[in-house]
Structure 1
Amino acid sequence: MRDHEPAPGPRPGRRLSTRETAEVLGVKPETVYAYVSRGLLSSERRPGSRSSTFDAKDVEALARRNRREAAGSPGSGGDLSVRTRITLIEEDRYYFRGVDATELALGHSYEEVAEWLWTGRLSPGTTFAAPETTVEVARRAVNALPEHTSPADRLRVAAIAAAAEDPLRFDLAEETVLGTGRILIPTLVAALPPVRHDHADQDDGPLAHRLWHRLTGRRPDEASLRVLDTALALLADHDLAASTLAVRVAASARAHAYAAVSAGLGVLEGPLHGAASGLAHRMLLDVLDQGSAVPVIADELRAGRRVPGLGHRLYSGEDPRARVLFGLLEQVPHAGSALLAARDVVATTARHTPLHANVDLALAVFTASCGMPATAGETIFAVARTAGWIAHALEEYGERPLRMRPSGHYVGPRPPQPLPR
């Protein structure tokens, strides 16, 4: 049986109210209007009334299409190719809502890029701020954790605490979810403890400036802050990465936005995803310590590990995010040695396998150059990607509930089997 059976189809020739349309499609009334705004349905006003009606045949056609997308091909467990208007990756480039993402990140702040992902509109000069009550609740929860707690764990706890403080968290209307995103992201940053106590009040200005003081005790310079802000914007989304798929599955089950982001944070902590830059960071420090990449690469390969920071399954050539960040890092004071170490890693590995540097290696150069811990890249990644997760949750709330419910392909013993003794 399916988790969600479609409502009976309408009688032909009728016009349906918003409530009836929502029942046929198996969505909330707010989602019906989202379909209208996206051009998937057309509506008409009843004479003398402010309510809208919908053509029954159009509604049933959309319902059939949604059911086909949810069911996939006969005998399959669902179609995991998800329609999205957020990010396109094509020919070693990627685009946010059709706009080159690298050009967008170079010309706009992280907050402006987030707004573009969410709404398709640029809001110059926008900054995110969270209510002091939300920040205090999140800080108290994070400060209660053991000192050795990882940044990913701190961010998950902060998200849970912020959710508990928000009485509107179960409202999945677009404007409410947008408000959640604008509050949650600065709350995640503010909940992280500053590296130096005299920076505890640095919670004003662009998000990158606030995050800087949670990553290093060094004084920021303009070039370094630009790298951090651009990195956040570049990493805001990357199509259906593993963490983003987890977010969409949670949103498909109508989990609220905080819970959906928590699902993404859980997946992000894997060494093949958000934590990859930390491995590259440690490798660069080893190269700097030994003066050459040769023994370090040899040790990685001898241990049966991939060389971190190289190659990407979606780019046959250069990772465009790495290209942008390496260009900006040329202007960062004290980044020269780490840049040389990264080039040494690429050149040494290219003797046998021609792999390009990816964004994890660029992040590692940045974090190692700025006196940040190896976990800093994961923190940057998680904060940045929260914008994309909110965008995907918003998009999924407009789709049929529980559509990403695959069926298992059972390969165990065929029943009936005797009861175990």
Structure 2
Amino acid sequence: MRDQEPGLPTDPGTERRLTTREAAELLGVKPETVYAYVSRGQLSSRRTPGGRGSTFDAEEVRALGRRNRRDGGAGVSAAPAFGQELSVRTRITLIDQDRYYYRGVDAVELAARHSYEEVAEWLWTGRMRPGASFTAPEASTAVARRAVDSLPEHAGPADRLRVAVVAAAAADPLRFDLSEDAVLGTARVLIPTLVAALPPVLRDHPGDGPLAHRLWTRLSGRPSDEASLRVLDTALSLLVDHDLAASTLAVRVAASARAHPYAAVSAGLGVIEGPLHGAAGGLAHRMLLEVLDQGSAAPVVAEELRAGRRIPGLGHRLYQGEDPRARALFALLEDLPEAASALAAARDIVATTARHTPLHANVDLALAVFTASSGMASTAAETIFAVARTAGWIAHALEEYGERPLRMRPSGLYSGPRPPQPLPE
């Protein structure tokens, strides 16, 4: 039996409506906060007949109080103000004043000095492991390869990676162990398994070495060089995490329900295909090729705007100035002679668009310059993004496993017909 709220009857037939003061006392808030709940649509009010005050349905007030108590605490905001977003306490990434930090360390500087594997270890544990290397047992990679090879030829990167994750999970009987050591062990095997499961573009490739070297052979048919591999490795490190992006939030919701790390990563992969997230780099890649083909950004930008599309690769809601990830990658791309024409095309796009809206380049445009000038398919940026972000998703899953289970459970604000309604004909 549900506990009765103190001081108020629970029989709807005998229950009177509450005054603002009574509603505030029941909720444990100030009267002004009660009116804020009304303005957010979380409470309904009724004017007092012949008076200037408001009254409130007692059961509705009690329900709001229960939701606030259930969803409050543990770092999740229970009742964000209208127009605000869900916020979650995290110790992983901070974005502040056009810079971002991994566990308090400047992410751009970290990526410039350490490999992707080392940055991932830092994100997971807060400790640096010089020379960290990720390898996967043949049994894991073999089952993932077979699953990926069974897909249609036109399958996209997210399709292949999701299937590889599911196959690797099915082959791991210890996947339900959510202890920190077990999850870290899974992460160190899963990421190289994803790379190994992708069909190689460059034959006669090495099966070991840094992860960026192995990933290159899955993206480009050209032989690699030191400068190109440095760009790829830095891109992976820069993209490891970016606070609570949409895919990361999906991962944390899965982890909150105590889904195993493979399932949590699969939840993230299910989100990145959107054109506003992981697929944005591919859109920028195709636009760059059109600019290179036509010799000018003006007609390409004009066509995008006429079709009602936003210009891919420009602007970021978290940065007032240039995306620091783009700035770092553009600096490295200057050292690639084969990237010169794509870099010029990217600058033309930014300058052309700036005549109307002064938007800065974001990391998607920088990735597009790299993939377009490296003989990679337009989907390569999405693959780079997904492989890189898997480490960040694991970091967030680990953090979420340490929180109260099922805390990522917001309450719906029902706006349909008020019951009771008649049964449908």
Q: Alpha-carbon deviation of 1:332?
A: 1.1
Residue 29 of structure 1 aligns with which residue? Answer: none
Aligned residues: 358
Give per-residue Cα distances to partners, 1:330-364, cap 9 Å, x unaligned. Answer: 01131000000000000000111110000000000
- Relative CO higher for 1 or 2, CA cutoff 8 Å, sep ≥ 6? 1
From 57, 70, 73, give the equivalent of 1:68: 73
Name the amino acid aligned to 2:254.
Answer: A
From 250, 274, 282, give the equivalent of 1:270: 274
Residue 364 of structure 1 aligns with which residue? Answer: 368
- For the 8 Å contact 1:162–1:184, the answer to whether it is kept is yes
Q: What stretches of structure 2 of length at least 5 have no aligned partner?
A: 3-68
Q: Alpha-carbon deviation of 1:417?
A: 1.3
RMSD: 2.0
Name the amino acid aligned to 2:379.
Answer: T
Residue 346 of structure 2 aligns with which residue? Answer: 342
Residue 105 of structure 1 aligns with which residue? Answer: 111
Tell me, in whole angstroms, the C-alpha distance in 2 between the residues paired with 1:340 and 1:81: 39
Q: 1:350 to 1:110 in 2, by over 3 A?
A: same
Matched, 1:179 2:209: no
Name the amino acid aligned to 1:346.
Answer: V
Give per-residue Cα distances to partners, 1:194-233, cap 9 Å, x unaligned. Answer: 013333xx22000000000000100001110000000000
Name the amino acid aligned to 1:331.
Answer: D
Tell me, in whole angstroms, the C-alpha distance in 2 between the residues paired with 1:71 and 1:227: 37
Tell me, in whole angstroms, the C-alpha distance in 2 between the residues paired with 1:104 and 1:197: 32
Residue 115 of structure 1 aligns with which residue? Answer: 121
Q: Alpha-carbon deviation of 1:416?
A: 1.3
From 215, 218, 223, give the equivalent of 2:219: 215
- Give the SS at the match of 1:197: coil
Matched, 1:419 2:423: yes
Tell me, in whole angstroms, the C-alpha distance in 1 between the residues paired with 2:391 and 2:140: 18
Give per-residue Cα distances to partners, 1:232-266, cap 9 Å, x unaligned. Answer: 00000000000000000000000000000000000
Normalised by the size of structure 2, how large is the TM-score? 0.82
Q: 1:76 to 1:407 in 2, by over 3 A?
A: farther
Q: 1:339 to 1:174 in 2, by over 3 A?
A: same
- For the 8 Å contact 1:128–1:182, the answer to whether it is kept is yes
- For the 8 Å contact 2:256–2:408, the answer to whether it is kept is yes
Q: 1:330 to 1:117 in 2, by over 3 A?
A: same
Matched, 1:135 2:179: no
- Give the SS at the match of 2:305: helix
Residue 251 of structure 2 aligns with which residue? Answer: 247
Name the amino acid aligned to 2:368.
Answer: A
Q: What stretches of structure 1 of length at least 5 have no aligned partner?
A: 3-63
Name the amino acid aligned to 1:149.
Answer: A
Give per-residue Cα distances to partners, 1:253-281, cap 9 Å, x unaligned. Answer: 00000000000000011110000000000
Residue 55 of structure 1 aligns with which residue? Answer: none
Residue 291 of structure 1 aligns with which residue? Answer: 295
Residue 228 of structure 2 aligns with which residue? Answer: 224
- For the 8 Å contact 1:73–1:79, the answer to whether it is kept is no
Which has the larger Rg?
Answer: 2
Tell me, in whole angstroms, the C-alpha distance in 2 between the residues paired with 1:283 and 1:169: 41
Tell me, in whole angstroms, the C-alpha distance in 1 between the residues paired with 2:267 and 2:94: 23
Normalised by the size of structure 1, how large is the TM-score? 0.82
Tell me, in whole angstroms, the C-alpha distance in 1 between the residues paired with 2:236 and 2:263: 22
Q: Alpha-carbon deviation of 1:76?
A: 9.1
Residue 312 of structure 2 aligns with which residue? Answer: 308
Residue 95 of structure 1 aligns with which residue? Answer: 101
- For the 8 Å contact 1:69–1:79, the answer to whether it is kept is no
Q: Alpha-carbon deviation of 1:66?
A: 8.8
Residue 53 of structure 1 aligns with which residue? Answer: none
Name the amino acid aligned to 1:243.
Answer: S
Name the amino acid aligned to 2:221.
Answer: G
Give per-residue Cα distances to partners, 1:20-59, cap 9 Å, x unaligned. Answer: xxxxxxxxxxxxxxxxxxxxxxxxxxxxxxxxxxxxxxxx
Give per-residue Cα distances to partners, 1:352-399, cap 9 Å, x unaligned. Answer: 111000000000000000000000000000000000000000000000
Residue 57 of structure 1 aligns with which residue? Answer: none
Matched, 1:84 2:84: no
- For the 8 Å contact 1:70–1:404, the answer to whether it is kept is no
Q: Alpha-carbon deviation of 1:413?
A: 1.1
Name the amino acid aligned to 1:116.
Answer: W
Q: 1:188 to 1:420 in 2, by over 3 A?
A: same
Q: 1:75 to 1:247 in 2, by over 3 A?
A: closer
- For the 8 Å contact 2:71–2:410, the answer to whether it is kept is no
Give per-residue Cα distances to partners, 1:71-100, cap 9 Å, x unaligned. Answer: 745799999311100000000000000000
Q: 1:103 to 1:71 in 2, by over 3 A?
A: closer
- For the 8 Å contact 2:202–2:222, the answer to whether it is kept is no
Name the amino acid aligned to 1:68.
Answer: G
- Give the SS at the match of 1:89: strand
Name the amino acid aligned to 1:209.
Answer: H
Q: Which runs of 4+ in 1 moved over 2 A?
A: 64-80, 196-199
Q: 1:278 to 1:72 in 2, by over 3 A?
A: closer
Q: 1:398 to 1:71 in 2, by over 3 A?
A: closer
- Give the SS at the match of 1:133: helix
Tell me, in whole angstroms, the C-alpha distance in 2 between the residues paired with 1:70 and 1:224: 41
- Give the SS at the match of 2:95: strand
Give per-residue Cα distances to partners, 1:255-311, cap 9 Å, x unaligned. Answer: 000000000000011110000000000000000000000000000000000000000
Tell me, in whole angstroms, the C-alpha distance in 2 between the residues paired with 1:275 and 1:228: 17
